[in-house]
């Protein structure tokens, strides 16, 4: 009995369910409506961004609001190289460019702590938007670019592939010794430094890896936009949304950001298309405040807590007071 | 050549000279005590030795190499590790992971994951925390968190171990246990510098003692010499 339970726990529960869900999603374009494919494009996009954000910010506790900067850089990579190269190369270029930018920015800013780091990373988004805007207007005398379009199904599968890679990398990192080092940095940076962790290098590299996936996601989504300019590419909401989704879902494991992304993407879809259009930002903000104040470990942490309490009551009603 | 040597080490925070032209050394195998009133600069000196802060002037050499300007993680990988005055364990990580991490990153021999796990388990056994290996570090008592910090520091395979008030806040039994631990660590070939206010402990286990006051070294010698020193009695020990 115990053996069977363990077996279920080890194989069925941990891998079976995600696999079934993954297969259901993977074949969606074959049986779903085109509306559903479009909706799932956004599910996949935000899951990727939320998981990528968690790779760095979840473990270290450094709140990065630079997501939109890397995402926007990916969009611009698509606009500049999309016509001359195969799409998959462009995705790599967008990812690599974001990696390099994040590495440089990280080297400059990761000595900042708390709110200062968050502010600087958000400043990066605005800086890139303004600089590109100025560049296009005064140097190139153009406004925006056209981007090569791809079908929704193609975008869907590229995103699905990217999400898969992002999750695998995030999972492998969290299980490796570098995952352990990242966690120790989040707990106590000084102590981590004194027991041999090259704190700066670990932080910067992880920040850059996390940015790579954001850049790649930008490349893929650009082909849905056809026309882009700095205002479209560097949308501040792309910084806030993934951070909120991951925080709301909980960052203890990778289910958290995935669940958070699904809930908020769906919420966004209902609220911005229905009659409640103008309330979206209000609800979005309220949930953010409540999450930060009352759910430090996210919705998943809340469920875990309730589940533990339930199990404890069930299995040992008298042993604990 | 001394294992660790400091020459005219000085550092100031704004106008306050926290450590002023202090010379010190320690030799392999000894236990060196560092005592003095609160604010004398003891922890600052530890921060200088472990490269957490840079001296304004003077130099510190460890194993014959100048370590001024190095980073803490580099000094750690050279074979020096420390504990903290206020415990800094990784509270949400397991006790085992706390120690494993130090073995993986601090030990210059770069052990594999399985070697690190084995070494961490051995250290927990040695320090008496085996049964708590899978608890979160924050669930331990203060005394055990201090033990954990020592195990974590030892996992980096140090030649020199800095213990910052390991016994502060511990009761009589725990102090005796900690003294026993320190002796055993020394018997493993680790040189120790310890900051301590518990005089009984300092006097019975240290081979040599340095006394700091207002950032200056005011006395240095064996425990017998220190308890007899007029200056030390005046500023610190009392009549």
- A-chain CB neighbours of B105 within 8 Å are 177, 181, 195-198
- Do A200 and A55 share a structural domain? yes
Integer distance in angstroms from the first to the last C-alpha of chain A? 29
Domain membership flag for residue A320: no
- Do B62 and B13 share a structural domain? yes
Residue ending a domain, among B114, B139, B157, is: B157
Contact indicator for B10, B57 with CB cutoff of 8 Å: yes
Residue ending a domain, among B98, B132, B157, is: B157
Please give the residue that has the higher pLDDT: either A320 or B194: B194
Q: Could B90 and A197 be called an inter-chain contact, meaning their C-beta atoms sit closer than 8 Å?
A: no
Q: What is the CA radius of gyration of chain A?
A: 21
Domain containing residue B104: 90-157
Residue ending a domain, among B157, B181, B208, is: B157
- Do A128 and A25 share a structural domain? no
Which tens digits make up the pLDDT trace of A6-33? 444 444 456 777 788 888 888 888 888 8
Domain membership flag for residue A267: yes
- Do B116 and B128 share a structural domain? yes
Integer distance in angstroms from the first to the last C-alpha of chain B? 38
- Do B97 and B74 share a structural domain? no
Q: What is the mean pLDDT of residues A105-115?
A: 85
Instruction: Give the residue from A230, A229, A300 showing the smallest Cα distance to A259.
Output: A300
- Do A101 and A9 share a structural domain? no
Domain membership flag for residue B85: no
DSSP state of A88: H
> A15-22 long-range contacts, Cβ below 8 Å, gap at least 24?
A22/A164
Q: Which of B91, B93, B101 sits opposite A195 (nearest CB)?
A: B101
Domain membership flag for residue B200: yes
Q: What is the pLDDT of residue A251?
A: 84
What's the domain count of chain B? Answer: 2
Residue B220, pLDDT > 70, answer yes
Q: Could B52 and A197 be called an inter-chain contact, meaning their C-beta atoms sit closer than 8 Å?
A: no
Confidence band of A3 (pLDDT split at 50, 70, 90): very low
Q: Lowest-pLDDT range, A106-115, A251-260, A302-311, B160-169? A: A302-311
- Do A19 and A166 share a structural domain? no
Inter-chain Cβ pairs, chain A and chain B, closer than 8 A: 74
Q: Which residue of A has its CA nearest to B105?
A: A196
Mutation choice for A interface testing from B67, B83, B90, B150 by most A CBs within 10 A: B90
State the complex-level ipTM: 0.92
Task: State pTM to two decimals.
Answer: 0.89
Q: Could B73 and A190 be called an inter-chain contact, meaning their C-beta atoms sit closer than 8 Å?
A: no
Q: What is the mean pLDDT of residues B84-105?
A: 95
- B-chain CB neighbours of A196 within 8 Å are 73, 76-77, 81, 102, 105-107, 156
Q: Lowest-pLDDT range, A217-226, B10-19, B144-153? A: B10-19
Q: What is the pLDDT of residue A276?
A: 67
Q: Which residues neighbour A305 within 8 Å (Cβ) at sequence distance 6 or greater?
A: A297
Domain containing residue A14: 1-31
H helices of A176-297, in order, are 177-187, 189-194, 199-222, 230-233, 237-249, 255-273, 280-294
């Amino acid at each position: 009995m115990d053996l069977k339970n363990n077996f279920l726990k080890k194989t069925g529960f941990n891998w079976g369910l995600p696999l079934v869900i993954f297969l259901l999603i993977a074949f969606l374009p074959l049986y779903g409506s085109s509306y559903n494919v479009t909706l799932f494009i956004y599910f996949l996009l935000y899951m990727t961004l939320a998981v990528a954000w968690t790779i760095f910010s979840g473990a270290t506790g450094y709140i990065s609001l630079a997501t939109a900067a890397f995402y926007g850089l990916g969009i611009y990579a698509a606009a500049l190289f999309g016509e001359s190269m195969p799409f998959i190369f462009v995705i790599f270029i967008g990812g690599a460019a974001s990696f390099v930018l994040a590495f440089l920015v990280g080297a400059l800013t990761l000595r900042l702590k708390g709110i200062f780091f968050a502010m600087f990373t958000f400043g990066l988004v605005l800086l890139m938007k303004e600089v590109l805007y100025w560049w296009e207007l005064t140097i190139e005398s153009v406004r925006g670019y056209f981007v090569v379009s791809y079908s929704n199904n193609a975008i869907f599968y590229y995103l699905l592939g990217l999400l898969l890679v992002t999750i695998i990398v995030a999972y492998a990192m969290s299980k490796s010794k570098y995952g352990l080092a990242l966690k120790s940095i989040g707990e106590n940076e000084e102590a981590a430094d004194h027991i041999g962790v090259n704190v700066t290098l670990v932080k910067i590299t992880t920040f850059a890896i996390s940015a790579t996936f954001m850049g790649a996601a930008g490349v893929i989504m650009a082909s849905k936009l056809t026309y882009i300019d700095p205002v479209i590419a560097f949308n501040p909401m792309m910084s806030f949304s993934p951070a909120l989704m991951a925080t709301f879902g909980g960052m203890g494991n990778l289910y958290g950001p995935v669940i958070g992304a699904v809930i908020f993407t769906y919420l966004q879809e209902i609220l911005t298309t229905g009659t409640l259009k103008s309330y979206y930002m209000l609800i979005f903000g309220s949930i953010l405040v409540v999450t930060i104040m009352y759910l430090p470990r996210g919705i998943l942490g809340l469920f875990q807590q309730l589940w533990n309490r339930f199990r404890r009551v069930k299995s040992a009603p008298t042993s604990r007071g | 050549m001394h294992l660790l040597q400091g020459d005219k080490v000085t550092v100031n925070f704004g106008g306050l000279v926290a450590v002023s032209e202090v010379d010190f050394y320690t030799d392999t195998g000894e236990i060196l005590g560092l005592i003095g009133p609160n604010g004398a600069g003891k922890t600052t000196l530890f921060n200088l030795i472990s490269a957490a802060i840079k001296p304004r002037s003077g130099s510190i050499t460890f194993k014959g190499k100048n370590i001024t300007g190095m980073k803490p993680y580099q000094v750690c990988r050279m074979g020096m590790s420390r504990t903290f005055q206020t415990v800094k364990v990784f509270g949400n990580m397991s006790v085992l992971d706390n120690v494993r991490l130090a073995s993986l990153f601090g030990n210059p021999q770069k052990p594999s994951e399985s070697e690190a796990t084995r070494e961490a388990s051995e250290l927990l056994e040695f320090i008496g925390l085996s049964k708590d290996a899978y608890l979160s570090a924050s669930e331990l008592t203060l005394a055990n968190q201090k033990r954990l910090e020592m195990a974590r520091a030892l996992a980096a395979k140090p030649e020199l171990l800095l213990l910052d008030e390991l016994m502060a806040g511990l009761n009589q039994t725990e102090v005796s246990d900690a003294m026993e631990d320190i002796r055993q660590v020394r018997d493993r070939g680790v040189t120790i510098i310890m900051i301590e206010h518990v005089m009984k402990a300092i006097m019975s286990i240290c081979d040599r003692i340095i006394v700091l006051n207002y950032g200056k070294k005011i006395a240095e010698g064996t425990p017998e010499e220190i308890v007899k020193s007029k200056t030390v009695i005046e500023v610190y020990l009392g009549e």
